[in-house]
Amino acid sequence: MLRKCAAVIAALFMSNVPIWADPVTLVANGGGLTVMGDVLGYDGKFIRVDTEFGELTLDFEEVTCTGDDCPDPDQFVPALSFAGAHRIGDLLLPSLVEAYARQSGLSFLRTESGASQFSYVLADAVTEQEKLRLTFRLSNTDEGFADLLANEADVVMAVREVRPTERNLARDIGLGDLTDTGRSRIVALDGLVPIVSPGQTVKSIALADLDRAFSGEISNWSELGGRDAPINLYLRDVNSGLAQGFEDRVLGPSDASLSSGAIRLDNDQALSDAVFSDSNALGVTAFESIGDAEPLGLTGPCGLTVTADRTRLRTEDYPLTIPLFLYLPQRRLPDAAMAFLNYVRSPEAQRVVRRAGFVDQAGVPTAIKGQGDRLATAILNAGEEVPLTELQRMMRVLGKLERLSMTFRFEVGSTRLDAQSRSNAARMARDLRAGVHRDQRLIFVGFSDARGPASENRKLSSARAEAVQRRVNVALGETELSDFTLETEAFGEALPMACDDTEWGRQVNRRVEVWVGPRLE
């Protein structure tokens, strides 16, 4: 049995720890297996050793270990190391660590070990026994993934999604597929926002024009409806994950390159201040870092304009919403470390995220009467094939319900939910198990863009709503729950949120919203 267990879990990795110097001997307590090797890691339950048979991972309680380098379970302190983006590690995660310690009845001690490195020790408040050590190395998203690939970190703090090259390298060295379910946590939300000086007469910009401006194809404000003046471009430095996300999301679809004339700045405050002081500036920054500059809305040819605010970032109705990620490899982590990572996704943690000044993921309900502007604008822009009777049906169905600020969307050209939506499915399942929606009916309401016949679009939106319901049911697992109901509904192209004559507008319109109300008797 021990040999079989070792074979099954031999591919799993454990927390990064130094390699021990001398070999140890492991003998199965029931006999039948004896191995010698160098200790590669120990996580409090399993020991990983490099043997003549290759790398093996064994249940430490099922073996007897002899040798100077055998780990001592009584002295073991679980550890977890983070590396990556300053935006996440500077304020957000420390706030979560300290709140988690207080909630768990633990004391915490923070120790600085350099300009961008620090650690926390969480201990029993009474006995002072150490329960968890957390270390942080703040740099940028690129270096965070590099540290993970070099086995110098357990968790990456990333302000963009993992790139294909990083995903492939991680998979090739046995860290699993970082895009799989469970390999990432979204800890908060942010957004890429175009900003200008307060005196600028241009108040909105099409996403396509933002692309053309930052690639140098447009160089004068008069081409955007402003005065005759050059456009001075500002963006974060090349190592910034947000700048990389901007290039991926805005310049990438047209295969454009950033203009060589763009001014690169190494922190958000410097960028906001520079744009504020330059009447000809056009910059892009994070939602939380706009400062005294003026944000521009994103518009399309049909005239619909979307501005960045907390509600639109939560629902992804703002097209340049950026999740803030923690990426975890396929590696065994100590139970105490997993407890903290699971806390990060809890409702209590979301309140901490909000107090820290970031956009949380709480499913805030909004009654239909509080969505008048959204509904009026959308209905006015509904396609000609949408009859009045369908709009009336939609209002009858939704009129007594509330919309949750949790929206499901799909990756471009795919039936796979995007990263934020995969996180939403897991979060909804947790909320349902916790009784957050007790005695309620939840309706997954599908919408589509207006390409193609309206009847087909309604079928597509219905299929998407059913796909989301299936995903939530899978996340619920075998849980026996009967105090809520899950339903689906679909209205096709009846409620557009952005212009259908742009790809990003169609992507915004293809969505599944969540509406809640009392269960029907």
Regarding whether 268 and 129 lie in a shared domain, the answer is: no
Residue ending a domain, among 315, 348, 379, is 315
Pairing mode, strands 155-158 and 79-85:
parallel
Name every residue whose Cβ is closer than 8 Å to that of residue 488 and which is 6 or more positions away in sequence.
443, 444, 445, 446, 462, 465, 466, 469
Regarding whether 296 and 239 lie in a shared domain, the answer is: yes
0.85 exceeded by pTM: no
Q: Quick check: 417 and 426 in contact, CB under 8 A? A: no
- Integer angstrom CA distances of residue 10 from 14, 50, 59, 196, 477: 11, 10, 11, 55, 26
In a domain, 15, yes or no: yes
Q: What pLDDT is attached to residue 382? A: 67
In a domain, 170, yes or no: yes
Regarding whether 297 and 208 lie in a shared domain, the answer is: yes
Regarding whether 309 and 367 lie in a shared domain, the answer is: no
Other CB atoms within 10 Å distance of the CB of residue 168:
13
Q: Distance between CA atoms of 318 and 387, rounded to whole angstroms?
A: 27
Regarding whether 389 and 372 lie in a shared domain, the answer is: yes
Regarding whether 472 and 385 lie in a shared domain, the answer is: yes
From 438, 428, 436, select the one nearest 468 (Cα to Cα).
428
Distance of CA 384 to the CA centre of its chain: 37
From 391, 418, 417, 405, select the one nearest 470 (Cα to Cα).
417
pLDDT, averaged in runs of 10, over the chain (521 residues): 33 40 88 87 85 86 93 89 94 96 96 92 93 95 94 92 93 89 88 96 94 96 96 94 90 92 94 97 95 93 82 86 92 88 90 91 74 68 75 85 89 77 87 89 92 88 93 84 90 82 81 91 64
Q: What pLDDT is attached to residue 446? A: 94
In a domain, 93, yes or no: yes
Regarding whether 385 and 514 lie in a shared domain, the answer is: yes
Regarding whether 367 and 233 lie in a shared domain, the answer is: no
Name every residue whose Cβ is closer than 8 Å to that of residue 230 and which is 6 or more positions away in sequence.
219, 220, 221, 280
In a domain, 334, yes or no: no
Q: Distance between CA atoms of 25 and 31, rounded to whole angstroms?
A: 13
From 52, 14, 48, select the one nearest 35 (Cα to Cα).
52
What domain count does the chain have? 4
Regarding whether 293 and 197 lie in a shared domain, the answer is: yes
Tokens, residue 388: 């009045």
How many Å is the Cα radius of gyration of the chain?
26
Q: Distance between CA atoms of 486 and 483, rounded to whole angstroms?
A: 10
- Integer angstrom CA distances of residue 106 from 98, 102, 109, 117, 336: 9, 6, 10, 22, 12
* 367: β partners: 402
Q: Distance between CA atoms of 45 and 281, rounded to whole angstroms?
A: 57
Regarding whether 210 and 303 lie in a shared domain, the answer is: yes
| Kind and range of the H or E run holding 198 | none
* Order of strands, sheet of 402-408, starting from the edge strand that comes earlier in the sequence: 365-367, 402-408, 511-518, 440-447, 484-490
Q: What is the CATH number of the domain that holds 96?
A: 3.40.190.10
Q: What pLDDT is attached to residue 18? A: 43
Regarding whether 510 and 407 lie in a shared domain, the answer is: yes
Q: Distance between CA atoms of 353 and 61, rounded to whole angstroms?
A: 39
In a domain, 347, yes or no: no
Give SS3 for 166. helix
In a domain, 344, yes or no: no
Regarding whether 222 and 99 lie in a shared domain, the answer is: no
Q: What pLDDT is attached to residue 1? A: 33
* 107: β partners: 123
- Residue 35 belongs to what domain range? 2-73
